[in-house]
């Protein structure tokens, strides 16, 4: 896809996961698979389907209510934080986790929305050994003043007791996007639109996330 801005013709990158039965789901848990029912199949001239989706299906955005009882739900998020510039960082060299040490020397600025490109984007399923963001890296990002963090895995944590990275980020107002697909995205600065479904009272929601390589 491409878009036009004045005299520019620039590519649009869809970095969302497709949603379908049999897709990769968190830790391959069967109950997280989307369920689809055809409720009308052109008998009255139209086709209609009913979808049963986990709120953490595919590419999705977490709200504070995911880990904090009484926390803000997805319908309370400030959408201005999800529309604007973002920075893709290439961390494909990370073998197991993204640590604070791995972030030192990276170009991370206050107000950035950081998307981490790792080896996860080359995986066809949801391997249990996906690269995750550790608590130290979460603290580092909060200190840097980022507005959001995105990772190309269905969770930013693997089996960390108490979910510290989620808690550190969300309690400091840092938005979390999980399930990105960044295999074909070069490192750099982009314009991002990442809009979650408006699910009232939900702790998370699936989202369509796109990047545009506009230069400002």
* Residues labelled catalytic: 66
Cβ atoms of 142 and 168 closer than 8 Å:
yes
E-state strands within the chain: 2-5, 8-14, 35-41, 47-52, 60-62, 83-90, 97-98, 113-117, 132-133, 148-151, 175-178, 188-196, 204-212
- How many C-beta neighbours within 10 Å does residue 213 have? 17
Could you give the 3-state DSSP secondary structure of residue 101? Answer: helix
> Reduced to 3 DSSP states, what percent helix, strand and coil does the chain have, rounded to the nearest 5?
20, 30, 50
CA 6/CA 18 separation, integer angstroms: 31
């Amino acid at each position: 896809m491409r878009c036009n801005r004045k005299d520019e013709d620039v590519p649009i990158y869809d970095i969302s996961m497709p949603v379908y039965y049999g897709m990769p789901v968190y830790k391959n848990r069967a109950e997280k698979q989307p369920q689809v029912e055809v409720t009308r199949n052109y008998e009255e001239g139209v086709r209609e389907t009913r979808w049963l989706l986990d709120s953490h299906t595919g590419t999705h955005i977490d709200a504070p209510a995911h880990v904090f009882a009484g926390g803000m739900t997805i319908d309370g998020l400030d959408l201005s934080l999800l529309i604007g510039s973002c920075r893709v960082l290439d961390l494909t060299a990370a073998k197991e986790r993204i640590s604070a040490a791995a972030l030192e020397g990276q170009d991370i600025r206050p107000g950035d929305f950081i998307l981490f490109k790792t080896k996860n984007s080359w995986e066809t399923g949801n391997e249990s050994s996906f690269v995750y963001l550790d608590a130290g890296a979460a603290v580092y990002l909060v200190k840097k003043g980022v507005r959001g963090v995105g990772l190309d895995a269905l969770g930013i944590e693997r089996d960390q007791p108490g979910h510290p990275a989620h808690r550190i980020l969300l309690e400091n107002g840092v938005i979390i996007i999980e399930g990105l697909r960044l295999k074909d995205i070069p490192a750099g600065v982009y314009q991002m639109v990442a809009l979650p479904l408006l699910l009232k009272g939900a702790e998370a929601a699936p989202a369509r996330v796109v990047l545009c390589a506009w230069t400002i």
